[in-house]
Amino acid sequence: GSYVVRSGDSLASIADSLDVDGGWHALYAANKSAIGSDPDRIVAGQSLDVPTENAQK
More confident site: 28 or 53: 28
The pLDDT, as a whole number, for residue 56 is 43
pLDDT band at 51 (very low <50, low <70, confident <90, very high): very high
Q: pLDDT tens digit string along 36-49?
A: 999 999 999 999 99
Judge contact between 17 and 6, C-beta under 8 A: no
Distance CA 49, CA 28 (A): 9
**DSSP count for the chain of H helices, then E strands:** 2, 2
Q: pTM for this structure? A: 0.87
The percentage of residues in the chain with a pLDDT greater than 90, rounded to a whole number, is 89
DSSP SS3 for 36: coil
Domains along the chain with CATH numbers: 2-52 (3.10.350.10)
- In sequence order, what are the residues at sequence separation of 6 or more whose Cβ sits closer than 8 angstroms to the Cβ of residue 31? 48, 49
- pLDDT recorded at residue 57: 38
